[in-house]
Amino acid sequence: MREEEVEKLRGVVRDCVTKHLYSSAIFFADKVAAFTRDPADVYMQAQALFLGRHYRRAFHLLNASKIVLRDLRFRYLAAKCLEELNEWDQCLLMLGDAKVDEHGNVYDTKETNAMYLDKDGEDREINISSAICFLRGKAYEALENRSQARQWYKAAVKADPLCYEALECLINNHMLSSEEEASLLSSLHFGPEDEWLSSFYSCLIKKYDKENVVEAKFKELENESYSSNPSEQSFMRTLKNDTDLMACKAEYYHQCGEYQKCFELTSILLEKDPFHMKCTLVHLTAATELGHSNELYLMACNLVKDYPQKALSWFAVGCYYYCIKKYDQSRRYFSKATNLDGTFPPAWIGYGNAYAAQDEGDQAMSAYRTAARLFPGCHLPTLYIGMEYMRTHSFKLAEQFFMQAKTICPSDPLVYNELGVVSYHMKEYNKAVQWFEKTLAHISSSLSEMWEPTVVNLAHSYRKLKMYNEAILNYEKALALSTRSVCTYAGIAYTYHLQDNFTAAITYYHKALRLKPDDQFCTEMLSLALIDECRRGVDSKFEYR
């Protein structure tokens, strides 16, 4: 067979792969490799076998080749076959000996003698060493050695910042704290053409700063679009409206407790890209917080139909049942999601919340502790453990876990709110005032009805400190957020009562009883206020005489 004919057959193999005709690709690749015995053609045959899901055969072909010990691409593809066969220990052996430190620096490696086969010099490639580091990370994670997995994922990103999958695993699985993520990002070396990628990655890491990081990065991208040359401007402006970046903005809104804004943004994004998984997850959590059961039902039905093997689909079903307060069914589907993917953080948290909603504290704590162990960079499991301790009146323990959550995520207003509540229960009212004020300071936009209980709690704390004017001011702020709260009317009435302003107290007790006629506290205090008002009237008459 002449060289021109062989080259034509190679073209046929490549075309079959692009058209997903893998059996044809395997057939012709086998003939080319048999004729030429060229390592590049053997590699092409192995690629065709791998894409056709003949993993054992592809591994045998690669392993039988002596070049597998010398060429990184042969070794990497052989290890990928073992990955698909779930033979993780053998996968690590195939990848060879190498060590990594806690900062993601690889050493003691013998991978310097590398050959590159089937390489198109005009295309930009991701460093093969980065891909190998990433695969090592996946193997260690499958073997439940998350510490090693974390270090190898960091090594993959440091070896080549274009290895997005490794960064995605670190972020989505909450393997790093916010400081560690920022440190990793600052250690990456981007080329001049990749400045946009640096800005993009900074939007992907945790939104735990008080400053609106995403908005700041948008402005940065806008500035870059105007300062760059005209040919790059359209690219930068397109990037600014990218779905991934907008999903990060929605995630930031969720982090800040802006659930309505988050839901509105994800709704727009899902119209544009209905199958964007990250956006779908944020949309589900926002819909659950807002109690949109119909939306959750439709989303769950579609996800189970299209992705029955994904944890996200069954998580959506769990969210629906949680929203309609059927916690047994909710727990069942959250459990199914964790069984499908044990590294899916929302399912573990939802599983714990479903137990907590039924006051089954031990099971809830077990789920939260598992989540805290698996996802050290996520503050929510620690926060919910603190809530469970507070529910059982173990206030000191609760405070310790809230402080841990604050260390992981110093910008979540909910953490400060819980610290304020636990301080109030421990009768440390000055501390409670400080925590509640910090809560309100960490809310990025104007107050919504969601934060009305925080304002009421702040008013209660001021009242306990006998700072009645400040208490009344905050009660009035709470009334501006919600006019249907019995607690707020009762609080402001009682504060006026303590100031001997019986007329105002009576007015607000009446308003509270209008909302809840059988409220025992307001009924009793109204009677006392009326007696005090009558006594004052009688006393003033005697003084006049």
- Give SS3 for 107: strand
Long-range (24+ apart) CB contacts under 8 A made by 25-31 are 25/51, 25/52, 26/52, 26/54
**pLDDT bucket at 197, cuts 50 / 70 / 90:** confident
Which residue is it, tokens 């005032």? 433
C-alpha closest to that of 107 among 99, 115, 116? 99
Cα–Cα distance measured from residue 20 to residue 424, given in angstroms and rounded to the nearest whole number: 64
Q: Is the pLDDT of residue 228 over 60?
A: no
Which segment of 314-318, 321-325, 438-442 scores lowest on mean pLDDT?
438-442
Tens of pLDDT, residues 443-493: 766 777 888 999 999 999 999 999 999 999 999 999 998 888 899 999 999
**pLDDT bucket at 442, cuts 50 / 70 / 90:** confident
Which segment of 66-70, 144-148, 333-337 scores lowest on mean pLDDT?
66-70
Q: What pLDDT score does 229 carry?
A: 52
Average pLDDT of the chain to the nearest whole number:
87
Q: Is the pLDDT of residue 11 over 90?
A: yes
**pLDDT bucket at 222, cuts 50 / 70 / 90:** low
> pLDDT > 70: what percent of the chain?
88
Give me the DSSP letters along 408-454.
H-TT-HHHHHHHHHHHHHTT-HHHHHHHHHHHHHT--SS--GGGHHH
Cα–Cα distance measured from residue 482 to residue 474, given in angstroms and rounded to the nearest whole number: 12
Q: What pLDDT score does 191 carry?
A: 79
Considering only CA atoms, give the Rg of the chain. Answer: 31
188 is written with which tokens?
């990456």
Cα–Cα distance measured from residue 347 to residue 334, given in angstroms and rounded to the nearest whole number: 5
Q: Is the pLDDT of residue 66 over 90?
A: no
Cα–Cα distance measured from residue 45 to residue 62, given in angstroms and rounded to the nearest whole number: 9
Q: Which helix (H) or strand (E) holds 279?
A: helix 277-290
Cα–Cα distance measured from residue 125 to residue 107, given in angstroms and rounded to the nearest whole number: 23
Q: Is the pLDDT of residue 129 over 70?
A: yes
Q: What pLDDT score does 91 carry?
A: 94
Q: What pLDDT score does 242 carry?
A: 79
Cα–Cα distance measured from residue 248 to residue 244, given in angstroms and rounded to the nearest whole number: 6
Q: Is the pLDDT of residue 240 over 80?
A: no
What residues contact 166, with CB distance under 8 A and at least 6 apart? 130, 133, 134, 137, 153, 154, 156, 157
Most distant CA atoms of the chain, gap in Å: 129
Q: What pLDDT score does 134 carry?
A: 95
Q: What pLDDT score does 116 carry?
A: 43
Which segment of 34-48, 208-222, 248-262, 415-429 scores lowest on mean pLDDT?
208-222
What residues contact 423, with CB distance under 8 A and at least 6 apart? 399, 429, 431, 432, 435
> pLDDT > 90: what percent of the chain?
61
**pLDDT bucket at 126, cuts 50 / 70 / 90:** confident
User: Taking a C-beta distance cutoff of 8 angstroms, is the pair 509, 527 a contact?
Assistant: no
Tens of pLDDT, residues 273-292: 998 999 999 999 999 999 99
